[in-house]
């Protein structure tokens, strides 16, 4: 038995598909769009010129101030820009940071509480209450492969007296109303950034197979994603950005996250919880953290539970005679993807991390909000999670 409730936005894929941005805004009844992006993307003509052309007279303005830190203060500034321009839609262009900030802007822009009240609520609870009624629609134009697009989650951070506060908003109204995946825009993303983000998106397909929220529908999209990504990502890591490689990488990432974020839960768990514990506190992209930890997390998973190893093997084309050999074959394929993308392989390679930090990281992983989505039979202890980290050290 399963229940699958999922309502994604319209998905467009293809060269120059951003020229249809105006049509997608028209479809959701929006007339004045604020483009939300970062400084680098915001000053890249190869990205911004097609976006501006696609929006035409629906472009109300641009807010090129997002950062990888995804600060609450940035969302406040973006909401001020929405009010100043009377924007009725947000077009997020770039990576996960811009997509997340755009979603938080949509929440803050219509919030009844004051900014100070919102800050206090966030610092105490790690969340911002979304106002009732409709929110401004968000249209996503990704330029990385992290798979943060087809999601109803908006993550945010801020600095408080007690240190860094992390959290966000989880609301089905934050699912983008439309998404444009234009291969030409992905070609503009620096090689290292694109490869690191690809590992994050790839791991969404891996985790979707073994989480306790999996369904036959997500099994199907995840297995197809693994077939495409296992072909496209090594080519991408080797520097290829031809039509076939980008098709496999981008479409594979879309499929990896299809059904991943639903009203009744997520399909992310163990690997992403480790990624949060590593990337949130240290100088490494989450995709790089995933590359290091994923093989070790999977070996631990397969030692404890089945972990969907046969479906994963089907996606990777692994053929083995025993369950143990099947599991090891899957891990080896994940390592091959990681190595093909040129990502780090050991935690000791992270400059600002010390081995003495591992117990605290294990505690952070253990309390991560994604751990409840692990297989029902898997109940990791802090000590077991620390052992995984030490194996990766």
Q: Domain for residue 245, yes or no? A: yes
Query: Where among 184, 214, 230 does a domain terminate?
Result: 184
Same domain for 315 and 384, yes or no, is yes
For residues 95 and 41, give the distance between their C-alpha atoms in angstroms, rounded to a whole number.
9
Q: Domain for residue 97, yes or no? A: yes
Same domain for 157 and 252, yes or no, is no
Write out pLDDT tens, residues 226-264. 999 999 999 999 999 999 999 999 999 999 999 999 998
Percent with pLDDT over 70 in the chain = 100
Q: Would you place residue 224 in the very low, low, confident or very high pLDDT band (cuts 50, 70, 90)?
A: very high
CATH (domain of 249): 1.20.1090.10
Same domain for 95 and 121, yes or no, is yes
Closest CA to 139 of 297, 8, 4, 310: 8
For residues 244 and 257, give the distance between their C-alpha atoms in angstroms, rounded to a whole number.
20
**β-bridge pairing 261-262 and 33-38:** unpaired
Same domain for 232 and 212, yes or no, is yes
Same domain for 24 and 155, yes or no, is yes
Percent with pLDDT over 90 in the chain = 94
Same domain for 239 and 345, yes or no, is yes
Same domain for 360 and 332, yes or no, is yes
Query: Where among 184, 212, 237 does a domain terminate?
Result: 184
For residues 230 and 246, give the distance between their C-alpha atoms in angstroms, rounded to a whole number.
12
Residues whose CB is less than 8 angstroms from the CB of residue 324 and which lie 6 or more positions away in sequence, other chains included: none
Q: Exposed, middle or buried, 242 (CB in 10 Å: 0-12/13-18/19+)? A: exposed
Longest dimension (CA), the chain: 64
Write out pLDDT tens, residues 173-223. 999 999 999 999 999 999 999 999 999 999 999 999 999 999 999 999 999
Structural domain span for residue 319: 190-392
Closest CA to 205 of 181, 186, 221, 193: 221
8 A C-beta contact, residue 83 and residue 109: yes
Same domain for 180 and 195, yes or no, is no
Q: What is the mean pLDDT of the chain?
A: 96
pLDDT at 162 over 80: no
Write out pLDDT tens, residues 362-382. 999 999 999 999 999 999 999
Instruction: Provide the 3-class DSSP secondary structure of residue 13.
Output: strand
Q: Domain for residue 317, yes or no? A: yes
Same domain for 207 and 158, yes or no, is no
Per-residue confidence (pLDDT) for residue 161, from 0 to 100: 84
pLDDT at 120 over 90: yes
**β-bridge pairing 178-181 and 10-13:** parallel
Residues 322-357, buried b or exposed e (16+ Cβ, 10 A)?
Answer: eeeebbbbbbebbeebbebbebeeebeebeebeeeb
Q: Domain for residue 2, yes or no? A: no
Q: Domain for residue 90, yes or no? A: yes
Same domain for 221 and 275, yes or no, is yes
One DSSP character per residue, 104-142 reads HHHHHHT-SS-HHHHHHHHHHHSB-PPPSSPPPPEEEEE
Facing residues of 209 across strands? none
pLDDT at 280 over 80: no
Residues whose CB is less than 8 angstroms from the CB of residue 247 and which lie 6 or more positions away in sequence, other chains included: 183, 228, 232
Number of domains in the chain: 2
Q: Domain for residue 351, yes or no? A: yes
Same domain for 156 and 282, yes or no, is no
Q: Would you place residue 281 in the very low, low, confident or very high pLDDT band (cuts 50, 70, 90)?
A: confident
Q: Domain for residue 148, yes or no? A: yes
Query: Where among 184, 214, 236 does a domain terminate?
Result: 184
CATH (domain of 76): 3.40.50.1970
Per-residue confidence (pLDDT) for residue 164, from 0 to 100: 85
Q: Would you place residue 333 in the very low, low, confident or very high pLDDT band (cuts 50, 70, 90)?
A: very high
């Amino acid at each position: 038995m399963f229940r699958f409730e999922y309502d994604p936005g319209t998905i467009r894929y293809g060269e120059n598909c951003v020229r249809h941005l105006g049509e997608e805004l028209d479809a959701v009844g929006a007339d004045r769009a604020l483009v939300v992006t970062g400084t680098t993307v915001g000053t890249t003509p190869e990205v911004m010129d097609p976006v501006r052309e696609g929006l035409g007279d629906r472009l109300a303005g641009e807010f090129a101030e997002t950062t990888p830190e995804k600060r609450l203060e940035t969302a406040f500034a973006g909401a001020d820009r929405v009010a100043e321009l009377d924007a009725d839609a947000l077009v997020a262009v770039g990576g996960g940071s811009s997509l997340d900030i755009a979603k938080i802007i949509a929440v803050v822009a219509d919030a009844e509480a004051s900014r100070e009240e919102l800050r206090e609520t966030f610092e105490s609870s790690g969340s911002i209450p979304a106002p009732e009624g409709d929110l401004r629609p968000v249209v996503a134009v990704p330029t990385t492969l992290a798979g943060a697009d087809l999601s109803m989650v908006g993550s945010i951070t801020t600095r408080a007296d007690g240190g860094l506060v992390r959290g966000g908003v989880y609301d089905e109204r934050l699912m983008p109303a439309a998404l444009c995946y234009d291969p030409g825009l992905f070609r503009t993303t620096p090689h290292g950034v694109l490869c690191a983000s690809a590992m994050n998106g790839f791991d969404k397909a891996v985790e979707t197979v073994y989480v306790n929220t999996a369904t036959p529908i997500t099994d199907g999209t995840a297995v197809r994603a693994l077939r495409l990504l296992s072909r496209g990502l090594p080519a991408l890591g080797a520097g290829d950005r031809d039509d076939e490689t980008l098709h496999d990488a981008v479409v594979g990432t879309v499929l990896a996250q299809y059904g991943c974020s639903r009203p009744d839960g997520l399909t992310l768990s163990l690997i992403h919880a480790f990624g949060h514990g590593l990337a949130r506190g240290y100088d490494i992209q989450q995709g790089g953290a995933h590359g290091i930890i994923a093989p070790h997390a999977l070996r631990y998973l397969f030692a404890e539970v089945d972990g969907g190893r046969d479906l994963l093997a089907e996606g990777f084309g692994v053929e083995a005679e025993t369950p143990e050999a099947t599991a090891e074959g899957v891990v080896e394929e994940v390592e091959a993807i990681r190595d093909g993308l040129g990502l780090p392989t050991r935690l000791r390679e992270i400059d600002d991390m010390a081995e003495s930090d591992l117990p605290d990281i294990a505690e952070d992983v253990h309390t991560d909000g994604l751990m409840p989505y692990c297989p029902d039979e898997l109940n990791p202890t802090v000590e077991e999670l620390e052992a995984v980290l030490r194996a990766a050290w």
